[in-house]
Amino acid sequence: MKDNAHTTSRIADCRLIKLDKHHHENGNLTVVDNQDSVPFRVKRVFYIYDVPGGAERGGHSHHACSALLVAVSGCFDVEVDDGVERQVFTLNRSNVGLYVPPGIWNSLSNFSSGSVCLALASDLFDEADYVRDYDVFKQLTSCKR
């Protein structure tokens, strides 16, 4: 993490982003361009797959890193929490991503069989940027109450 500040985003800052879909008879193509398709420059890409039934992923927040989550295959739920409000988004289309800004707790669950979650992140991995304890997250977001 670049500094000790914790961004305090709101649920309203989370939003679905429709990615350009190019339809062809022989299959569709979706392109993600830095700062054109997503509201940040992508510095890291990873994907989550083979999630066992009933398992959850995520369960953290970031001080500074933003993410765009896309269900490139199958579907899953993303619960976002700003310390005051919560909302669940179901991702099930490979050309729609959920923008999760820093300061939002997120948990992924209800993965369908064969689902793949593509994550595009604004920063390289930095353990110091993670908030993995929900009680600490609540303290950091107490100014929203």
Active-site amino acid positions: 60
Opening angle at CA 11, ends 10 and 12, nearest 5:
90
Is residue 47 within 8 Å of 135, Cβ to Cβ? no
